[in-house]
C-alpha cells in the first residue's frame, strides 16, 4: 500500500436520513445529511416513503458533499455504503447507487455494517481522544440497543441486546403517548431538564445477563397514564416535565445497570457509545458520576456523529480500504445484517 492520500465517499441510507460524506484519510471534509420530515406526521418512519425520499435525495446529497469538500469525483479512491442493518427499500437505494457509481468510475465499493460504523465513528480524526482496544461498545438508537465486545476494528462480538424494543424506540413510543412529536427522544431530554425524576416510579425489567428489555416499561407507562388521566384529564399537561424526567430516568437506569454488569463480567473499563441516544444529557451526567466511581473511561461521539450520518460509513470505508477489503458488485443489502 503506497502512502498516497485516500479519498472515500461514504453513503448512508439505512433508515430515514440520506447522507453523503467525503473523507481524506481519516479526516472528514464534508458530511451532508438530508432529514426526511415527511415521517413526522405519522409519528414514525414509513418505509415506503423513506425509500422514495432517498431516491430523490441521493444525487443532490452526494453532489453537495463533493462540492463542499472541494474534491473532484475523479479523485475518489473508493465508495463505502451501508449494507445493513436497516430498511430494505432504503438500503437498496444507497447500495445500488454506490455500485453504479463505482462501476462508472472504475473504483472499488466497500460494504459497511451500520452498527459497526456507529462505534468506529470514534476513529475519525478530530480533537477527541480515541479509545484503545478492547472496549465495551454500546449502540443505542431508534433501531438498536446492543452491547458489543470490541477487540479490534473488525473483531466485534455481541454480548447482549434488546429482546424487544430499542431504547430510542422506547423514548419515541412513550413520547408519542404524551403528545410529543417524532422523534420524541430529544424533546423528552429537553422537558426533563426542569422535571423531578423521582416523582413517578416505573418498574425496572428483570432480564438476566447482558440482554435488556424495554417493552414492559412502555406498557407500564401506558397503564400509568391511563390510570392518572381517569382522575385528572389534564394530568399530562399538568405534569409534563416530571413525567419526562421520570420515564427518562427509568430508560437510562435500565441501560446503565447492564453497562455496569457487562464491564465487570468482561473486565472492561472503556465504554464507547454510538447512536442517537448517546446525545441524551441525563445519560451523560450519570456516566460522568459513574465513571468516577467505577474508574471508567467513557467515549461519546461529537453530536453530529451520534445520529445517522455518512461520515461514520466513510471512516469504516477508509479502515477497510487500508486493509484491501472490498465488496463484489454482486453484494446486496442485508436488512438484518449482524457480525
Ligand atoms: O442513531 P439514530 O439517529 O437513528 C437510528 O439508527 O435509529 O437514532 C435516533 C434515535 C431516536 O429514537 C431518537 O429519539 C433518539 O435517537 N434520540 C434521543 C436523543 N437524541 C436522539 N433519545 C434520547 N435523548 C436524546 N437527546
Ligand atoms: Zn443508526
User: What are the cell numbers at 298?
Assistant: 467513557
Answer yes or no: pTM beyond 0.85.
yes
Both 168 and 194 in one domain: the answer is yes
Both 97 and 138 in one domain: the answer is no
Q: What is the span of the domain harbouring residue 21?
A: 7-122+306-322
Question: Which ligand number lies closest to the CA of residue 247?
Answer: 1
Question: Which ligand number lies closest to the CA of residue 15?
Answer: 1
CA distances from 318 to 28, 185, 250, 275 (A): 11, 31, 38, 20
Both 100 and 169 in one domain: the answer is no
Q: pLDDT tens digits for 108-164? A: 999 999 999 999 999 999 989 999 999 999 999 998 999 999 999 999 999 999 999
- Report yes or no on 247 lying in a domain: yes
Ligand 1 contacts CB of residue 185 (under 6 A): yes
- Report yes or no on 70 lying in a domain: yes
CA distances from 230 to 106, 200, 203, 226 (A): 65, 17, 21, 6
- Report yes or no on 1 lying in a domain: no
- Report yes or no on 337 lying in a domain: no
Both 158 and 249 in one domain: the answer is yes
Ligand 1 contacts CB of residue 141 (under 6 A): yes
pLDDT for 44 equals: 72
pLDDT for 317 equals: 98
pLDDT for 293 equals: 92
186 CA from centroid of ligand 1 (Å):
7
- Report yes or no on 336 lying in a domain: no
Count of Cβ atoms closer than 10 Å to residue 66 Cβ: 20
- Report yes or no on 253 lying in a domain: yes
Both 203 and 236 in one domain: the answer is yes
Both 282 and 140 in one domain: the answer is yes
Both 149 and 118 in one domain: the answer is no
Q: What is the Cα–Cα distance from 42 to 73, expressed in whole angstroms?
A: 37
CA distances from 112 to 10, 85, 95, 250, 325 (A): 9, 10, 10, 33, 11
Ligand 1 contacts CB of residue 172 (under 6 A): yes
Both 94 and 158 in one domain: the answer is no
Both 107 and 173 in one domain: the answer is no
Both 116 and 183 in one domain: the answer is no
Ligand 1 contacts CB of residue 280 (under 6 A): yes
pLDDT for 51 equals: 87
Which residues in the chain show pLDDT less than 50? 1
Residue with the smallest CA separation from ligand 1 atom 21 is 276
Q: How many structural domains is the chain composed of?
A: 2
- Report yes or no on 215 lying in a domain: yes
276 CA from centroid of ligand 1 (Å):
3
118 CA from centroid of ligand 2 (Å):
7
Q: Which of 14, 168, 186, 278 to mutate to test the pocket of ligand 1 (most atoms within 8 A of CB)?
A: 168
Q: Which of 34, 142, 306 to mutate to test the pocket of ligand 1 (most atoms within 8 A of CB)?
A: 142
- Report yes or no on 287 lying in a domain: yes
pLDDT for 127 equals: 87
Both 194 and 246 in one domain: the answer is yes
Both 156 and 263 in one domain: the answer is yes
- Whichever domain contains 67, its CATH number is 3.30.420.40
Q: What is the 3-state secondary structure (H, E, C) of the chain?
A: CCCCCCEEEEEECCCCEEEEEEEECCEEEEEEEEECHHHHHHCCCCHHHHHHHHHHHHHHHHHHHHHHHCCCHHHCCEEEEEEECCCHHHHHHHHHHHHHHHHHHCCCEEEEEHHHHHHHHHHCCCCCCCCCCCEEEEEECCCCEEEEEEEECCEEEEEEEECCCCHHHHHHHHHHHCCCCCCCHHHHHHHHCCCCCCCCCCCCCCCCCCCECCHHHHHHHHHHHHHHHHHCCCHHHHHHHHHHHHHHHHHHHHHHHHHHHHHHHCCCCEEEEECHHHHCHHHHHHHHHHHHHHCCEEECCCHHHCCCCCHHHHHHHHHHHHCCCCECCCCCCCCCCCC
pLDDT for 1 equals: 47
Amino acid at each position: 500500500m503506497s502512502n498516497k492520500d485516500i479519498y472515500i465517499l461514504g453513503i448512508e441510507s439505512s433508515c430515514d436520513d440520506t447522507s453523503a460524506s467525503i473523507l481524506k484519510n481519516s479526516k472528514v471534509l464534508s458530511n451532508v445529511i438530508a432529514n426526511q420530515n415527511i415521517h413526522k406526521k405519522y409519528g414514525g418512519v414509513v418505509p415506503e416513503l423513506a425509500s422514495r425520499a432517498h431516491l430523490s435525495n441521493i444525487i443532490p446529497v452526494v453532489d453537495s458533499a463533493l462540492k463542499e469538500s472541494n474534491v473532484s469525483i475523479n479523485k475518489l479512491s473508493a465508495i463505502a455504503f451501508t449494507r445493513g442493518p436497516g430498511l430494505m427499500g432504503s438500503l437498496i437505494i444507497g447500495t445500488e447507487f454506490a455500485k453504479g457509481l463505482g462501476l462508472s468510475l472504475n473504483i472499488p465499493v466497500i460494504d459497511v455494517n451500520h452498527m459497526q460504523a456507529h462505534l468506529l465513528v470514534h476513529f475519525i480524526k478530530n480533537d477527541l481522544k480515541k479509545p484503545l482496544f478492547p472496549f465495551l461498545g454500546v449502540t443505542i438508537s431508534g433501531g438498536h440497543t446492543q452491547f458489543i465486545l470490541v477487540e479490534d476494528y473488525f473483531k466485534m462480538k455481541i454480548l447482549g441486546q434488546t429482546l424487544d424494543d430499542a431504547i430510542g424506540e422506547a423514548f419515541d413510543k412513550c413520547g408519542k403517548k404524551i403528545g410529543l412529536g417524532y422523534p420524541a427522544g430529544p424533546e423528552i431530554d429537553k422537558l426533563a431538564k426542569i422535571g423531578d425524576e423521582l416523582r413517578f416510579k416505573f418498574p425496572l425489567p428483570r432480564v438476566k445477563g447482558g440482554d435488556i428489555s424495554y417493552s414492559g416499561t412502555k406498557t407500564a407507562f401506558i397503564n400509568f397514564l391511563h390510570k392518572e388521566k381517569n382522575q385528572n384529564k389534564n394530568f399530562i399537561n399538568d405534569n409534563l416535565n416530571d413525567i419526562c424526567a421520570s420515564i427518562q430516568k427509568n430508560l437510562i437506569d435500565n441501560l446503565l445497570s447492564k453497562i455496569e454488569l457487562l464491564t465487570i463480567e468482561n473486565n472492561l473499563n472503556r465504554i464507547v457509545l454510538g447512536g442517537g441516544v448517546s446525545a441524551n444529557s441525563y445519560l451523560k451526567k450519570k456516566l460522568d458520576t459513574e465513571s468516577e466511581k467505577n474508574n471508567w473511561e467513557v467515549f461519546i461521539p461529537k453530536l453530529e456523529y451520534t445520529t445517522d450520518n455518512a461520515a461514520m460509513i466513510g471512516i469504516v470505508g477508509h479502515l477497510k480500504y487500508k486493509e484491501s477489503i472490498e465488496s463484489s458488485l454482486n453484494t446486496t443489502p442485508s436488512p438484518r445484517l449482524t457480525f
